[in-house]
Chains A and B, each alone.
Chain A
Amino acid sequence: MKFSRSFMLAIVALAILATLPLFLSGNLLNAAIKMMIAALFALAFTLAMGQAGMLSFGHAAYYGLGAFAALHLMKGVEQQLFWFPTPLVPLGGAVVGFLFGLLFGWFATQRSGVYFSMVTLALAELLFTIAPTLSGVFGDESGISTIRGAWWVFSFGPDNQVYYLTLAWVAICSLLMWCFTQTPLGRLALALRDNEHRVRFLGFNTHLARTLIFAISCLFTGVAGALLAIANEATNYTIFAAGASANVVLQTFIGGAGTFFGPALGAAVMTFFARVTSDLTRSWLLYQGVIFVLVMLFAPGGLGGLVATHAQKVRAGAWRGLIGPYALALLAGLLLVAGLVFTVESIHVVLTDAYLAATRAAGGKWVPFKLFGTSFAPDSPVTWGLPIALFAAGGLLLPIARRMTLAAWREATALPDVVGSTASPSSPARKSQGAAT
């Protein structure tokens, strides 16, 4: 039952993704490609992190190696050194990711916990440092670039062909990674996460097991990197930067490492968020950080955890009671976000060189600044009153929304007999569901 429902959801998601190019503009289609790649990267990362408890801070290494492997394959085809079908180029990323995963993993998995994380970080930084000096492999500062070769009836010129290629690989790899969780090695990964010491005393070579699981994670990471290379037709050594490794960690935690598809969701959402906000404001990294902190504080299970909790705990038909409180909480949240954004953006504008030059020209006096298409005077009460009003309104609504949400949540998740004993007036419908469960 549970399996078939998840399976149906996956089919529906796949169907939606398959029809998406019919509705999306070029820019959004490109965004969708990047979101799928990020989702695959996060799933691959989670295979090591969420399931086997290996928090890697250096997964950009395998992502980048996969990308370079793909580029070299494509370049070889472009220069007619050999023949290789473009749709299979990600295999190159998979092989290189796996081999380096074995090699680096062999060292990193000698240790657990923080020490493991530090070794993975160091190995990735090592690659980041030596890559620019190995210009034959990684190009120089500008990296290497090539073009996608045509194959069969596909030119792989238009974005929607790249989209479908990416979708196919992401879908297949996701399915394979899900299957991995159902294999003996996949189950062993969970045991290693829970208690490596005990596994050793049950007759398993845990170092070998962890190396192998890490390398499988790197294999799929390599595929993600290769897909990125196919989409961009270029990359350079900055793909190995620590920021890229940190990004996948953030996305995975926002998505929720405890669920299978949570990390993919988190990666897709955050990639889209970064793409949209980075065009609008230079403070987008600050907002991303705020989101991360809020998720860690109030929903440590991440987006996937929230979805899973709702799916498991809320009785069917009890959703209606939650809509009101959630809408109120959303309103309070939006007011606070509006206040925060106004404040951050105002500060940002006032600190720009252009504004400082304008104040100097006005003899050191404050001059009005432009924000959101309107002009605000720094000494006007409106400029100060607006964010204060937004914060106040949000701040007042939030505790109310919180109380209402808690009450509604208790109501929606209560066991049938508990609800019966508190004699809620709207119980006939609920009783029938209680009987069903």
Chain B
Amino acid sequence: MNASGMTAAEPVLELKGLRKSFGETQIIRGVDLAVKRGQRHALIGPNGAGKSTLFNLISGHYVPTSGEILLNGESIAGLAPHIINRRGLSRSFQITNVFPRMSVAENLRISIMGRHGHRFTLFQAISALKAVNDEVDEYIRKLRLERRRNDLAGDLAYSEQRILEMGMSLATEPSVLILDEPTAGMSREETAYIVELIREVTEGRTLLVVEHDMSVVFTLCDQVSVLVYGEVIATGDPASVRANKKVQEAYLGEEVH
């Protein structure tokens, strides 16, 4: 809905002829993809299609073999992960990836303080950084983690850790947030809860989501791209992608709801 008026907008994230090989094996075989501002773009595909590899390429974990990755029109291909983050792209992880022996508030504070220029600040107490701490409180409220504020992240329930993890990526205030299977391993109720929460906290932001759960894709996202064997075979709104013959074939009888 929010993307329909902005389809003419410049793409925030653009992949052009992206390729990645590991030795002889080509995993990503020339991917073209454009994520426009304010869009919630889903990337789906069968197991082994290269979704995770594509994610790792975009976030700087891997260096592409060839092709371009443009963020706000500038190339980020092959840059170090922390530079890519500062340019405005933040990713969350499929596995839970928090700081287990620090409190929820401190986990978020690490994400937020860097953006306020406190990366290596040494002559200021962290408790005195009012702007940072206020923002930490704001994010805790947004993520509905108030009651968990001072608990160690490692002591949270799995779904809470995933929420915190996503919140940490979000708190770096990226121009594109990419989420790697945000509902993996969750129960139906937890999935419904987290999807609603993601909708809420990412309002107005640009999102790229890798997701297996089709119901999540269709409730959360307004654009879908299908990756099969390292190539994007279809892109469009959920309904047209669902109706696409090639997509149905690729899923080989797997039900596309």
Contacts and interface: CB of A to CB of B under 8 A. Distances in A.
Contacts, number: 101
A191 B110 contact: yes
Contacts of B115: 203
A43 to B, nearest CB: 17
Interface string A82-108: 000000000000000000000000000
A180 interface: yes
Given A194-B102, A206-B82, A212-B120, A199 B127 contact: no
A190 B86 contact: no
A180 to B, nearest CB: 7
Contacts of B119: 184-185, 188, 203-205, 209
A180 B81 CA distance: 27
B168 A194 contact: no
Nearest to A192: B99
Interface in A200-229: 200-206, 208-209, 212, 216
Give chain A's interface residue range (CB within 8 Å of chain B).
20 to 34
Given A200-B81, A202-B168, A183 B121 contact: yes
A212 B121 CA distance: 11
A201 to B, nearest CB: 5
B122 interface: yes
B126 A184 contact: yes
Given A202-B110, A202-B172, A182 B126 contact: yes
Given A182-B126, A187-B109, A201 B81 contact: yes
B61 to A, nearest CB: 8
Contacts of B107: 191
Majority SS of interface residues in chain A? helix
B22 interface: no
B110 A188 contact: yes
B122 A199 contact: no
A209 B119 CA distance: 8
B122 A190 contact: no
A198 B98 CA distance: 7
B106 A184 contact: no
B252 interface: no
A193 B100 CA distance: 10
B166 to A, nearest CB: 12
A195 B124 contact: no
B106 to A, nearest CB: 6
B120 A209 contact: yes
A194 B154 CA distance: 10
B111 to A, nearest CB: 5
B129 A184 contact: yes
B88 to A, nearest CB: 10
A204 B118 CA distance: 10
B97 A199 contact: no
A219 to B, nearest CB: 11
Contacts of A184: 113, 118-122, 124, 126, 129
Q: Interface size bucket, B side? A: 35 or more
A15 B12 CA distance: 62
Contact of A190 (B93, B106, B121): B106
B126 A190 contact: no
Contact of B85 (A182, A188, A203): A203
Interface string B176-207: 00000000000000000000000000000000
B91 A187 contact: no
A47 to B, nearest CB: 12
Contacts of A197: 97
A149 B230 CA distance: 74
Contacts of A183: 121-126
Nearest to A206: B82
A202 B108 CA distance: 10
Given A183-B121, A183-B125, A185-B122, A203 B114 contact: yes
A347 interface: no
Nearest to B106: A187
Nearest to B154: A194
Contacts of B86: 203
Given A194-B100, A195-B99, 8 more contacts: A182-B127, A187-B126, A191-B106, A194-B102, A195-B100, A201-B93, A203-B85, A204-B114
Q: Which 5 residue pairs across A and B have the least CB separation, nearest first?
A: A203-B85, A194-B99, A184-B118, A184-B121, A203-B114
13 contacts: A184-B129, A187-B102, A187-B106, A187-B110, A190-B99, A190-B106, A194-B102, A201-B91, A201-B93, A203-B82, A203-B115, A204-B114, A206-B82
